[in-house]
Structure formats: C-alpha cells, structure tokens
Structure 1
C-alpha cells in the first residue's frame, strides 16, 4: 500500500469516527440521524444522472439495505443515548466483522483460519474490557451489539448487491439516494422537533451525512488501488480515532482503559481482515 492510499484510508477512518461524534454530541440525535440520511441522499440525487444505473437484479438489495439502514440509525440512536462514543463505537464497529466471519462459517460453510480465530478472540477480549468498565450502562452495550448485528447484515446485503449491480459507483449512488425514504420518515414523524431545530444543528446534521458518504466513498476508492483486505484492515483504525475523540474531545473516562480496549478491538479486527 502506497503512502497516498494509506492516507486516504486513514482519512476515511477519521471521517467515519467524526460523524459518529457529531451524532453523539447533538442535542436531538434522532433528528440529526434523519439529517445524516438526508446528507447521504441529496448529493446522490444530484449524481444519479451522471452514473450508470445498477442492473435490475440489484434493486431488491438496495431496498433491503435501505430498510436495514433505518434499523441501524434507530439502534445507533439508542446506543448513544445510554453509552459514550468511546464505549459504543468500538463495540458496534468491532463486533460486526466477527459476526460476518462467524455467519460465513455457519451459513456458507466457510472454514476460518487460525489467524481469523485469533482476531475474533482479540476483538472479544477488547469488548470484555469495555463491558467491564464501571458504570457502563448495559442497555447501551446491548444496543451497540444490536447495532453491530445490523452492520453485519447490511454489509452482507450490500456485498451481494454491489456484485450483481454491474456498477459499484452506481449501486452506491442509488443506495444513498434511496435513503430519502429514511430521512423523510424520521423527520416527518418528529416534525414539531425538526421544525424548531437550530440552523447550527441543521448544518451539523447534513454535514455529518456528507462526511459519512465521503468516508464510504474514499474507502471504496482505496479498494481500487490496493488489496481489499489491507484497506479493510486499515479502515478499522476508526475504532481508535473514535476512542481518542471520546476521551480527549468529549472527556469520557476512564481514559486509559477505554483507549487500551479500543486498541485491542482494532488490532483484533485488523488481524481478522488480514486473515
């Protein structure tokens, strides 16, 4: 991996952690997540005339992924209601690859290598350290684990959908455009609260969506320039970025245990990705 590609992937990881921090610190997380979905779909709608249309076989996956993303936003909101960024993010992001790997073993009859098992056990150890933090709300941990299961679900759905689409960029653009359904539902169902949102909150929510989309796009672009496994592994440094933001920007603690645990989770996911 060249230095340029490495910097692109690290930037994608930082941006992903950053938009989660914007959600965590927002006054109304539900509305903010609706705006994040809007921040995804508005640029996508503008790009739709200029990208190839996905094959018709991809549209069931786009629809399924849109529904799954609605559940993702719901459980992410619940997670951050009861837990800190440096607690929730490593659990949600770190556990998802483990679930995908174990699911492939059970449902696709894939054999896991020794290094894959080492990665799974390392992630589990890091999550156990996080879960053992004093005063950690078990509701937040449970919601984070549910979020990770949903991340695993849309990862599998999008992985299949993007393959049958015939155009990865077209699939991503149409997928993001479909999130207008999520944005409209979230905002319309909370219209009184959305109507009174400040301009600053509106800007931050939409910016979070643009940042999230940019992070995904950068990671996807990097996978065209370097081996997918290596890009995926480096991308998981977002777990460490989130812990650093939570500890040093949001003042979450105990700092040392959270940083160590997040690092253990990141190392485990990197091992799993490279295996």
Structure 2
C-alpha cells in the first residue's frame, strides 16, 4: 500500500511513483469514458473507493485530529471534481476534455502554493512547469479553438482542473499534519467514496441499481485503478514538492492522448505529437532543476 513502501524512501523514488500514478490515472479515465452510462460508472468508482477505505481504516493508524478538516474538505472537493468531470465527458470528446481538465491543475497549484502558501519555487522548476503547461495546452487545443457549442464542455473541464488543483493543495497540506499517511488515505477514500453514490441515488432512485449491474466489472476495475493512482500521489505529497508533483502527475495527459488515439481511434496528428514531446521536455527540465 502507498503508506508502506519501504523500498521507496528516497526523493528519487517520488517522480517514479508519480509517473506510475499518471499511467493508472489515464487508464481509469479511459475505462470510464468508454462507458455509455457515465453516472453509473462514476458511482461504481466511488463505491470501490468507499469499500476499500472501509477495509483500510480497520488496519491504518488514525490520522491526527488536525487532519480531519482537510479530509472533509478534500472529500467535498473530490465529489465536485467527479461531477464536473462526468459532465465534461458527457458533453465532449475524451481527447479534448481529459487534457483540458488535467492541464489546468499544475498552473493553479504553482500559483497558489507560491503566492498563498509561501512555498518557494526556484526559477528552473518554474521554467519546467511552464514548459509542461504549454505542452498540455497544446494537447488540449490541438484541434483548434472550441466553437460556441463546445463551451459548456470546456467550462466543465476547466472547472474540473480547478477542483483537481484545490484537492491537491488540501491533501498536500493535510497529509503532512496527519501523522499517518496510510490513515489519511484510508479515511479519505472512505469519506469521498460515499458522496457521489448518494447523489446518484437521489437522482436515479432504485433504477440506479439496475444500471449498475452490467457495468460492475469495468466500473469497479476503474475504481481500484483510481484508488491506487491517488494513493500513490498522496504518498508522494508527503515526501516531495507540491508544485513538482502536480506537474509530473499531469503527464497522464500524454498517456491519455495515446489512449485516445489507439483505443478510441481519435486522430493523434503532428500537433498532438509535438505537444506530447513538449511535456516530456518540461519533465526533463523539472527533474534537472530539482536535483
């Protein structure tokens, strides 16, 4: 589990863990986007989170009292994130919505962590984050500027990115005061996993259970991948710089672009390839600056 990684104790392990999380994140998003009933799919993901959290809290040391406000705030932010992402996927294409949502986050995290939280950001790391963000924007806009009909989808995707940045900052602070990374992750999974199923039940009523049955396999698999992806990130946040982690985890967009091309048969094109290469250059700059 992310709280018990004895072989990954040095700072050099942090980028590897975050990159592994990025692959898992792109994969579960691809699984979810491929579901026809996306509300049911997201509900199953949340149920997997709540179920695993309920098991893990039985074995995890409880977090310190100072961490509980952060857990509550993160649970609310992640439920909002799921609803916005769900709406974005209902309205737009995976190849545009996913990079737009993920690409917004590192810029917001960097700005807030340096201006409001007082964290330092060396020039080299700032350049790396800027290069990554430019590459992510290129992936999002590779097919040109959105038309008016696409604006609601784009607004939902941008709102998703803001929520990602918000819970990243909340968890980055909360896990450091928790005294128990494992306990923080376990209780966060349990709390945030209960919110969306309750919302879905209020919307659909008993018909929700019928909708869940045929999607159980893919939905629960996506949920487990989602849990592992975010658990790895929270572990990394307890050991590394928030802005660097936020930027590295958004490399999931590169993997998302590949999923869009090879799974959903979306056109990759030279613009997407160039943008993906820009992201990789930014990662290299970020790592060199952090050494």
TM-score band, normalised by shorter chain: 0.7 to 0.9
CA shift digits 1:176-233 (9 cap, x unpaired): 0112431432331223542222534122112211111112234455678xx7357766
Whether the aligned pair in 2 keeps the contact of 1:22 and 1:204 (CA below 8 Å) is yes
Aligned residues: 273
Pick closer, same or farther for the CA change 1:81–1:262 going to 2, 3 Å.
farther
SS at match of 1:206: helix
Counterpart in 2 of 1:194?
A: 208
SS at match of 1:196: helix
**In the aligned structure 2, how far is the partner of 1:36 from the partner of 1:42?**
10
SS at match of 1:49: coil
Gaps of 5+ in 1: none
**In the aligned structure 1, how far is the partner of 2:105 from the partner of 2:42?**
20
Counterpart in 2 of 1:264?
A: 278
**In the aligned structure 2, how far is the partner of 1:201 from the partner of 1:173?**
25
2:148 is equivalent to residue 138 of structure 1: no
Counterpart in 2 of 1:250?
A: 264
Whether the aligned pair in 2 keeps the contact of 1:31 and 1:186 (CA below 8 Å) is no
Deviates more, 1:231-240 or 1:139-148: 231-240
Counterpart in 2 of 1:155?
A: 168
**In the aligned structure 1, how far is the partner of 2:283 from the partner of 2:16?**
19
**In the aligned structure 2, how far is the partner of 1:133 from the partner of 1:45?**
43
**In the aligned structure 1, how far is the partner of 2:201 from the partner of 2:233?**
32
Counterpart in 1 of 2:187?
A: 174
Question: TM-score scaled to structure 1, two decimals?
Answer: 0.85
2:80 is equivalent to residue 71 of structure 1: yes
Deviates more, 1:258-267 or 1:239-248: 258-267
